[in-house]
Structure 1
Amino acid sequence: MRAPYQVLVIPFICNENGVEYAILKRSDMKYWQGIAGGGENEENPEQTARREAFEETGLGEDCRLITLDTKTSLPVEHVVGHFLWGEDVLVIPEHTFGIEATDQKLNLSKEHSVYKWVSYEEALSSLKWDSNKTALWELHTRLKIRDHQKENNAKL
């Protein structure tokens, strides 16, 4: 049974170019997004994020998952096409995460036709949904703060 929430997961990798983000092109609608999907049965959002990341890209349990504060509400009809949970449930929350890839090679499911690793700026300009852009901004900012703290600690 589909749970009444959605997750968004943004893959990232830290390499010699700094931080790069994976954006995925949907096979059916041809727009760029992060990994997205819904909870199943008794899963919590973190379990859903890990499962969806694995199903859509092959990123596994060994990848660090970062829970983000960004949340949005999505119209039920836009997510599942109808009032799956009754006419009283009009919107569902979208929980967001970043996931650190250990390799740039992703194994895409049929849901996406292609992916690319891009800079923050290119990802921001390519993503279709505002919720994806806000989550990307939060993830990028958190990673910059983390790097700044590492630099300061190294100087001590």
Structure 2
Amino acid sequence: MTLRRPESALVVIFDTASNVLVMQRQDDPDFWQSVTGTLEQDEQPMQTAIREVAEETGINIMHGQLSLIDCRCVNQYEIRDIWQHRYPPDCKFNTEHVFALQVNGDENITLTEHLSFQWLPKSEAMALVWSDTNRAAIQQFVPEPIENACQ
């Protein structure tokens, strides 16, 4: 097994109503998250974000003419013990680059690495995701929904 590079991209996907896409991991059903993935050899964070969105959801950013936003936010977090075997033995922390992607909300989601997905209001998504950095990214980069003034 090739050890992973301790650097990843996190992509928070939200729709025009500020509902957030969250996915349930296969290897830990209690772990819900946004799209995330390790940077491959010679890959830049933006390239990883585009690749991971396509791999994990089936959303093709380039063909869909969507705008992936580099949030210019970089987090460091301690690698979970259950995943430590995937990284070099002396590596305890991962560096995470944060991106945001607004979609229409009518995209077909095709899961390849997760058990299920949900579109949730911002506050519910924040309550469900496992990681603090994912929660913070939703809080900071997903806009508040616009209330309908005609109600």
TM score, norm. by length of structure 1: 0.77
CA contact (8 A) 1:65 1:97 kept: yes
What are the Cα deviations for residues 92-113 of structure 1, in whole angstroms up to 9, with x where unaligned? 211111112243421111x201
Greater per-residue helix proportion: 1
Q: Does 1:128 align with 2:127?
A: no
| Aligned counterparts, 1:50-89, within 5 A | 50-60=50-60, 61=62, 62-76=65-79, 78=81, 80-82=83-85, 84-85=87-88, 87=90, 89=91
What is residue 32 of structure 1 aligned with on the other side? 32
- The match for 1:151 is none
Task: Specify the alignment match of 1:152 in structure 2.
Answer: none
The structure, 1 or 2, with the larger RCO (C-alpha pairs under 8 Å, 6+ apart) is: 2
* Length, aligned pairs only: 138
Considering fraction of residues, name the structure with more strand. Answer: 1
Worse overlay, 27-36 or 61-70? 61-70
- Aligned residue in 1 for 2:19: 20
Displacement over 3 Å in runs of 4+ = 1-4, 76-80, 82-86
How big is the alpha-carbon RMSD for the aligned residues of Structure 1 and Structure 2?
2.2
Cα distance change on mapping 1:84 and 1:25 into 2, 3 Å: closer
Q: Report the Cα offset of residue 79 of structure 1.
A: 8.2
Q: Within the alignment, does 1:115 sit opposite 2:117 as a pair?
A: yes
> For residue 121 of structure 1, what is the amino acid of its counterpart?
S
Q: CA deviation at 1:58?
A: 0.9
State the secondary structure of the residue aligned to 2:85. coil
Residues 123 and 7 of structure 1: CA distance in aligned 2, closer, same or farther (over 3 Å): same
| Structure 1 alignment gaps of length 5 or more | 148-156
For 1:120 and 1:84, the matched residues in 2 are separated by: 32
Q: What SS class does the counterpart of residue 73 from structure 1 fall into?
A: strand
Give the share of equivalent positions with the same residue, in percent: 28
Structure 2: how far apart are the matches of 1:115 and 1:83? 25
Q: Which ranges in structure 2 are unaligned for 5 or more consecutive residues?
A: 147-151
